[in-house]
């Protein structure tokens, strides 16, 4: 785990979650994605401002392949305990698949606050942004996801199968891919906890409780901390 990606403090959280998909799962997905003929210009899905800075390809969401693989990835994200703990999801959108190559890039932007969920048939608020890397680091040059916050720029380039989550309020970009191909899945989460700072504190508390349980077992005090955790969610949660 690379510490630089885990920039946690009281206000913002970026979290690197390794091996959300196995190498075998990635290989199978890549085989299907690499031979698909349903890659479209990613500008078609962007607003007019984003069109000027976005240059990538996106898998057609009406294609059979998309309909097959998107639910599988969504299920993998939903069932991962660290994603659940870090994002406290109320809704997770079906992931989109994108491909950057031939100097493909996405300039500085903040993600749209509202996304339409085809599953729910309603709009959701984006609190947490998520990228699942599907290309290995040595498959391409450039292509770093750069997330800016008040502490500076964080460059993210992860192994295939790994995930980064970061607040959707962050300014971010994807650097030009000068060689090779960078394939990733991206999605957005509406959290039960709207504020980054509160979500970050709950994550720290949850991780501390898990470590304590491993070290000393379910003592009275550990149980009390667990009660606090649940009562904070009750207090802060927007359900």
Q: Which residues bind Ni ion (CB under 5 A)?
A: 111
DSSP 8-state secondary structure symbol assigned to residue 138:
G
Minimum CB separation of residue 94 from Ni ion in Å reads: 16
Q: Are 106 and 80 in contact (CB under 8 A)?
A: no
Element (H, E) at 129: strand 128-133
Which residue, 111 or 175, is less far from Ni ion as judged by CB?
111
Minimum CB separation of residue 186 from Ni ion in Å reads: 7
Minimum CB separation of residue 118 from Ni ion in Å reads: 19
Which residue, 111 or 196, is less far from Ni ion as judged by CB?
111
Residue sitting closest to Ni ion (CB): 111
Minimum CB separation of residue 40 from Ni ion in Å reads: 18
Alpha carbon 27 to chain centroid distance? 20
- Residues 90, 110: Cα–Cα separation, whole Å: 21
Please name which of 146, 18, 168, 36 lies closest in space to residue 93, comparing C-alpha atoms.
168
Which residue, 109 or 213, is less far from Ni ion as judged by CB?
109
Which residue, 83 or 201, is less far from Ni ion as judged by CB?
83
């Amino acid at each position: 785990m690379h510490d630089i990606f885990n920039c946690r403090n009281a206000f913002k959280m970026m979290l690197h979650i390794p091996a959300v998909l196995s190498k075998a799962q990635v290989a199978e997905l890549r085989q299907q994605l690499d031979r698909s003929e349903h890659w479209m210009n990613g500008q078609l899905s962007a607003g007019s401002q984003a069109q000027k800075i976005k240059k990538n390809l996106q898998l057609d969401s009406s294609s059979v392949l998309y309909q097959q693989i998107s639910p599988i990835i969504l299920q993998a994200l939903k069932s991962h305990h660290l994603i659940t703990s870090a994002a406290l999801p109320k809704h997770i959108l079906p992931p989109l698949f994108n491909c950057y190559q031939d100097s493909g890039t996405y300039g500085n932007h903040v993600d749209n606050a509202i996304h339409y969920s085809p599953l729910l048939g309603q709009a959701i608020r984006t609190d947490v942004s998520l990228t699942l890397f599907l290309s290995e680091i040595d498959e391409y040059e450039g292509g770093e996801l750069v997330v800016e916050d008040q502490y500076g720029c964080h460059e993210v380039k992860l192994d295939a199968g790994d995930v980064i989550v970061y607040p959707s309020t962050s300014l971010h970009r994807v650097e030009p891919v000068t060689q090779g191909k960078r394939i990733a899945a991206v999605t957005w989460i509406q959290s039960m906890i709207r504020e980054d700072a509160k979500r970050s504190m709950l994550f720290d508390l949850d991780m501390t409780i898990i470590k304590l349980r491993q070290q000393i077992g379910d003592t009275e005090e550990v149980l009390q901390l667990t009660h606090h955790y649940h009562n904070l969610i009750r207090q802060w949660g927007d359900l």
